[in-house]
Structure formats: structure tokens, C-alpha cells
A and B are shown apart, each in its own frame.
Chain A
């Protein structure tokens, strides 16, 4: 089974996989014309807003900019402990 995996799946960490991952990130930024660093600022601000309403589990917030066809999606994931309201 492991042999089959090795044969049919392109292993992670190859030049092809690295190139593809780098391209994905690069093109999402290119297409949005997003200056470097802006996304980080947005993430901080978003987190601050959500944190006004909820206690957040520390260090679990995740932001992911994904390619969907030729559009981009920003997926944010907050782990909520309880409402502050």
C-alpha cells in the first residue's frame, strides 16, 4: 500500500509541489492587487472586532486566502469560548 502511495501520489516537498504552492499564493495577491502586509493588518483588525463580542481561544485564529476559479476567498476561522455580551 505504501509502495502504491509512493508511486501514484506526487510527494510533498518536490519542486513541482513547491512551485504550485508558491504560484497559488502569488497569484491570489496579484489578482487582488493586494500590497504586501495589508492582509496582516486586516486580520488584526478583524480579530479585534470579533474579540469585542467573544472570548477567543488563544492562538487558534486562522486566516486563509484561497483561490476559487479566478476569484479569491478569505476564509477566517475563530474559535469562540463564550459570548461577552
Chain B
């Protein structure tokens, strides 16, 4: 088997990399694919919490690299789906604990075991980021529609472009979109951000309180029905698998008739 290694990255911190990793991982696993989530935010371990697996972590990625355990021993199987696995980050080490070559080797091994290897990258553009992208062949760039996040995403896109030979494609996930504010022209919308960054769109995730609730429960929202963000992440997973999923209208809640009409002609999509 040779799976796909996809890194999820943003430049700016706190824009939703870990949330997206967990949710896309769950959604991909729900389509039947075998998935390994890799937490590369060494020293700031989070992905296990979002997955509700924090009590089951025994070994971590650094243990594997330093050969204190076998790769299989470090993998934490998801309690809901046996085809979903997590390789946790070390919490008590720092970004220098692994290097790019070790990461490449690890990714090679992982992609012989799984259909999808999703790497949650740390914020920034320094060594932690460089290591996270070292073994990747594809990237998901994630940003919010805020200026500082978009600027940092642009920086990341520039760095990815410089590695065209290794990273053959990258697409954008626009997170925390507020349809009502976009309809009122209070903030940039999907088309604005796409035009500025000149990048292909993979998906749009609305601002959604259900994300916070699901994080607290340790059950990613893409595994549950009836949430707009969950649907958005499931659509992203299907697009990753090569399906043509149309971008759905995403209407603002509490619309006035004016924003409804504007929305009709300038729909916000997920």
C-alpha cells in the first residue's frame, strides 16, 4: 500500500489546524479509509484531547524516532473506529527532538500502513513547521478570513511553492467564516480570500459553537450529524478522496431580508 501524506498547516497559531486534522481524520475514516493522525506539535500536544484519546497515550512520536518502542506500539487506536489511529506528540520535549530526515523515514513507514497520513503541524515557519512538511506530498493550508491569518497563510504558500517537487498540491480550507458578517461586508468572504491568495479551495468551515462543544466531549464534530461544521468537514474529506462535491450554500442565521437577497446572489458556500 502507498497512502497519501497530507500536512495541515497555517503559519498563524490558533486558526484551526488541530481541529481540522481531527475532523478530517474522522470523516476520512468514516468513508472507510484507514487513517493515521500524526501530532507534530511536539511539546504542545493537543490532538489526543480533541480525539478524546488523552488517557490512552503510552508512547509518542519521539519514542518511535529514538527507538524506545515500535511504531505499532505508539499508535493509539480510536475507540469508535479501528481504522483511525493517532500517533501522539511528546509533551515534555521540544521541536528539536526530531529532524527532517527522521520525519521522512517515519512518513515512508506510515504510508505503507495507511491510506491517509494526516500531519498536524505546529504554528510558525521555523523548524517545527519544516519538520512537519518534510515527509508530506500534499498540504492543506488553513486560515481564517482575518488579515493577519491570511498574510501568514500567504507566507506558507510561498514556502510550499518553493518545494513544488516534494509537495505536489496544496489547497485552502477557510475556517471560522461568519456568513452574516460577510453578507454585511464587515469581513472578507470566500472569493476575496481565494483571489488574494490565488489558491484552490478545498472547503469552507463556518464559525460554529458545536466545535467547542465537541472538543469538550472529545468527539470531533464531523462524526455527528446535524452540525454545519461537521458537514463542512465531511465534504472536505470527500473532496480529498477525489469526489466532486459542490460547494453548498451556507446561509447566515438570523438573516434580515436584505442579507437574504444578497446571500441569494452571493451565496456563502461550504
| Chain A contact residues, CB within 8 Å of chain B | 7-8, 10-11, 14-17, 19-20, 22-24, 26-27, 30-31, 67, 69-70
State in angstroms the CA–CA spacing of A67 and B198 once bound together.
10
Chain A binder among B35-43, B73-81, B92-100, B153-161: B153-161
Q: Are A70 and B157 in contact (CB under 8 A)?
A: yes
- The total of interchain contacts (Cβ-Cβ below 8 angstroms) comes to 55
Q: Are A16 and B185 in contact (CB under 8 A)?
A: yes
Q: Are A16 and B189 in contact (CB under 8 A)?
A: yes
Q: Are A26 and B157 in contact (CB under 8 A)?
A: no
A-B pairs, top 8 by smallest CB distance, nearest first, are A14-B185, A16-B185, A70-B198, A69-B198, A10-B185, A20-B192, A15-B186, A23-B196
State in angstroms the CA–CA spacing of A27 and B192 once bound together.
13
Chain A binder among B106-114, B133-141, B245-253, B258-266: B258-266
Chain A residues contacting B104 (CB-CB under 8 Å) are: none
Given contacts A30-B155, A70-B157, 15 further A-B contacts (CB under 8 A): A8-B262, A14-B185, A15-B185, A15-B186, A15-B187, A16-B186, A16-B192, A19-B187, A20-B196, A22-B147, A23-B150, A23-B151, A23-B188, A26-B151, A27-B196
Q: Which of A23, A31, A67 has the most CB of B within 10 A?
A: A23
| Chain B contact residues, CB within 8 Å of chain A | 147, 150-151, 154-155, 157-158, 161, 182, 185-189, 192, 195-196, 198, 258, 261-262, 265-266
Known: A7-B261, A14-B186, A16-B185. A24 touches B155 (CB 8 A): no
Closest to A22 in B: B147
The 29 listed contacts between A and B (C-beta, < 8 Å) are A7-B261, A7-B262, A8-B266, A10-B266, A14-B185, A14-B186, A15-B185, A16-B185, A16-B189, A16-B192, A19-B147, A19-B187, A19-B188, A20-B188, A20-B192, A22-B147, A23-B147, A23-B151, A23-B196, A26-B151, A27-B154, A27-B196, A30-B154, A30-B155, A67-B198, A69-B198, A70-B158, A70-B161, A70-B198
State in angstroms the CA–CA spacing of A22 and B147 once bound together.
9
Closest to A27 in B: B154
Interface of B is mostly: helix
Chain B residues contacting A19 (CB-CB under 8 Å) are: 147, 187-188, 192
State in angstroms the CA–CA spacing of A7 and B261 once bound together.
8
Chain B residues contacting A23 (CB-CB under 8 Å) are: 147, 150-151, 188, 196
Closest to B199 in A: A70
State in angstroms the CA–CA spacing of A7 and B185 once bound together.
12
Chain B residues contacting A30 (CB-CB under 8 Å) are: 151, 154-155
| Nearest CB of chain A from residue B73's CB, rounded to whole Å | 44
Chain A residues contacting B161 (CB-CB under 8 Å) are: 70
Chain A residues contacting B158 (CB-CB under 8 Å) are: 31, 70
Chain A residues contacting B198 (CB-CB under 8 Å) are: 67, 69-70
Q: Are A27 and B151 in contact (CB under 8 A)?
A: yes
State in angstroms the CA–CA spacing of A26 and B114 once bound together.
41
